[in-house]
């Protein structure tokens, strides 16, 4: 049953994440969370002709791995939620083609992982289906060419710039089974604080994360102390600091339990990733790999993920629009 408390949606026992899979690229595999990936695809082309096809392959691998891990077959899955960063989400479309699962394409920029999880959990809880998969992907090369400059172009990255994660994370959610449960969700409001600097996405998305987290603590009756870990999707070092400071000023102290997936996925000093990781794959691989493994071990019980996204396109930026941020939240509990 879904209990609506203000904007917070509480799911009672909630659907179970019975399996998840994280697929990463070479750089991600070399990062601090390398050991938590189910599969590392070292070749950025993944043996394909284009990077877009490579990203599609990563997504397909993540979905099939997650389904296989639970001992299920794709025919048993009733709904697929998928998304990525590329125009019209084509990597997701092509990845879904062979699977034969009814699909819902999502675009929430880098917040899509949390958005997909939230929607899948809500539909399961509402009884619309018994088994659903949520998957997202991003690829450094497909994102660079769409949003920035050609890969071989000689540019310098700003210290606030972030590095798009090459990877895909998939989650299988079921109404019955064992595993952590999705106990709550909150869907975010788009927030525009006038930031138009593409090399500082963390700053553009942080206000949305603040809004979502503040709304959740206000409406759900929970406090940060109820959670072992509070995560934002890909705010990087700048956005992490902003959320910490701004929520602190509103009397919500997150302290050390606040982390950002973009900061966890790379070792910025060693891997030259500046402010941290980003992309639809960022929070997906961190959650599907590292976090859910820790929850299975019992070292984490209650985790909040506010997936953050920058809703913009190269066209909107060239037309002088600022970057709209959004943050969708899911509460995952192993209790």
Partner 1 sequence: MEMTKKQYKDYVKQVSPASPLVADMARAFVSGGLICTVGQVFSLLYRSMGLSQQTAGTLTSVTMIFLGALLTALNVYDDLARFSGAGTVIPITGFANSVASPAMEFRSEGLILGVGAKMFTVAGPVLVYGILSSAAYGLILWILQRM
Partner 2 sequence: MFIEELLPAFLTGGVICAIAQVLIDKTALTPARIVVLFVVVGVVLTALGLYQPLVDFGGAGATVPIMGFGYLLANGVKEAVIQDGLLGVLTGGATAAAAGISAAVVFGWLASVTARPKAK
Contact flag: residue 26 with partner 1 (CB under 8 A): no
Contact flag: residue 141 with partner 2 (CB under 8 A): yes
By C-beta, is 25 or 309 nearer to partner 2? 25
Contact flag: residue 157 with partner 1 (CB under 8 A): yes
Closest by CA position to 275, among listed 181, 186, 158 = 158
Task: Figure out which of the listed residues 26, 145, 175, 293 binds partner 1, where binding follows CB under 8 A.
Answer: 145
306 and 233 Cβ atoms separated by less than 8 Å: yes
Which partner in partner 2, partner 1, none is near 203 (CB below 5 to 8 A by kind)? partner 1
Which partner in partner 1, partner 2, none is near 126 (CB below 5 to 8 A by kind)? none
3-state helix, strand, coil in the chain (%, to 5): 40, 25, 35
Give the range of 4-12, 127-135, 199-207, 308-316 binding partner 1 by CB under 8 A.
Answer: 199-207
Task: Figure out which of the listed residues 152, 249, 315, 319 binds partner 2, where binding follows CB under 8 A.
Answer: 152
Task: Figure out which of the listed residues 4, 71, 127, 156 binds partner 2, where binding follows CB under 8 A.
Answer: 156
Which partner in partner 2, partner 1, none is near 241 (CB below 5 to 8 A by kind)? partner 1
Closest by CA position to 278, among listed 288, 292, 268, 291 = 268
**Measured CA distances, 86 to 31, 43, 104, 143, 272 (Å):** 24, 20, 16, 7, 24
83 and 280 Cβ atoms separated by less than 8 Å: yes
3-state secondary structure at position 89:
helix
By C-beta, is 68 or 199 nearer to partner 2? 199
Contact flag: residue 252 with partner 1 (CB under 8 A): no
168 and 152 Cβ atoms separated by less than 8 Å: no
Task: Figure out which of the listed residues 151, 223, 299, 321 binds partner 2, where binding follows CB under 8 A.
Answer: 151
Q: How far apart are the first and last CA of the chain?
A: 18
Paired sense of beta strands 8-10 and 131-138, if any = unpaired
Cα distance between residue 41 and residue 46, in whole Å: 6
Which partner in partner 1, partner 2, none is near 184 (CB below 5 to 8 A by kind)? none
Torsional sign, CA 211, 114, 148, 262: positive
Contact flag: residue 314 with partner 1 (CB under 8 A): no
Which partner in partner 1, partner 2, none is near 160 (CB below 5 to 8 A by kind)? partner 1
Contact flag: residue 320 with partner 1 (CB under 8 A): no
**Interaction with partner 2 in 18-37: which residues (CB under 8 A)?**
25-26
Cα distance between residue 103 and residue 79, in whole Å: 6
Contact flag: residue 140 with partner 2 (CB under 8 A): yes
Closest by CA position to 254, among listed 210, 204, 301 = 210
Which partner in partner 2, partner 1, none is near 140 (CB below 5 to 8 A by kind)? partner 2
Secondary structure of 156-180 in the HEC alphabet?
CCCCCCCEECCEEEEEEEECCCCCC
Which partner in partner 1, partner 2, none is near 107 (CB below 5 to 8 A by kind)? none
**Interaction with partner 1 in 37-56: which residues (CB under 8 A)?**
49-51
Which partner in partner 1, partner 2, none is near 146 (CB below 5 to 8 A by kind)? none
Contact flag: residue 253 with partner 1 (CB under 8 A): no
Using CB under 8 A, list all residues that contact partner 2: 25-26, 44, 51, 140-141, 150-152, 155-156, 166, 197
């Amino acid at each position: 049953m879904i209990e609506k408390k203000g904007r917070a949606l509480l799911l009672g026992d909630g659907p179970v994440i019975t399996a998840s899979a994280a697929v990463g690229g070479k750089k991600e595999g070399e990062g601090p969370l390398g050991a938590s990936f189910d599969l590392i695809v070292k070749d950025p082309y993944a043996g394909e002709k284009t990077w877009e096809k490579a990203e599609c392959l990563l997504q397909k691998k993540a979905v099939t791995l997650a389904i296989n891990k639970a001992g299920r077959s794709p025919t048993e899955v009733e709904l697929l939620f998928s998304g990525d960063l590329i125009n019209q989400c084509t990597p997701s479309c092509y990845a879904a083609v062979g699977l034969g699962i009814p699909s819902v394409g999502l675009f929430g920029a880098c917040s899509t992982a949390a958005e997909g999880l939230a929607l899948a959990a809500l539909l399961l809880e509402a009884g619309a289906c018994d088994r659903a998969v949520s998957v997202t992907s991003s690829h450094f090369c497909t994102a660079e060419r769409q949003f920035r400059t050609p890969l071989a172009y000689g540019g310098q990255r700003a210290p606030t710039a972030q590095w798009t994660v090459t990877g895909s994370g998939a989650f299988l959610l079921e109404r019955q089974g064992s595993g952590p449960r999705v106990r709550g969700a909150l869907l975010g409001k788009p927030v525009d604080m006038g930031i138009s600097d593409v090399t500082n996405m963390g700053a553009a998305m942080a206000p949305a994360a603040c809004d979502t987290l503040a709304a959740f603590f206000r409406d759900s009756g929970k406090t940060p102390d109820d959670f072992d870990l509070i995560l934002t999707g890909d705010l990087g070092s700048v956005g992490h600091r902003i959320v910490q400071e701004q929520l602190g000023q509103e009397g919500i102290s997150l302290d050390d339990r606040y982390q950002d997936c973009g900061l966890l996925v790379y070792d910025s000093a060693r891997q030259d990733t500046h402010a941290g990781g980003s992309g639809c794959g960022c929070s997906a691989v961190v959650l599907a790999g590292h976090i859910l493994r820790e929850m299975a071990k019992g070292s984490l019980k209650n985790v909040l993920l506010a997936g953050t996204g920058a809703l913009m396109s190269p066209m909107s930026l060239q037309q002088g629009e600022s970057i709209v941020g959004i943050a969708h939240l899911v509460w995952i509990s192993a209790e």
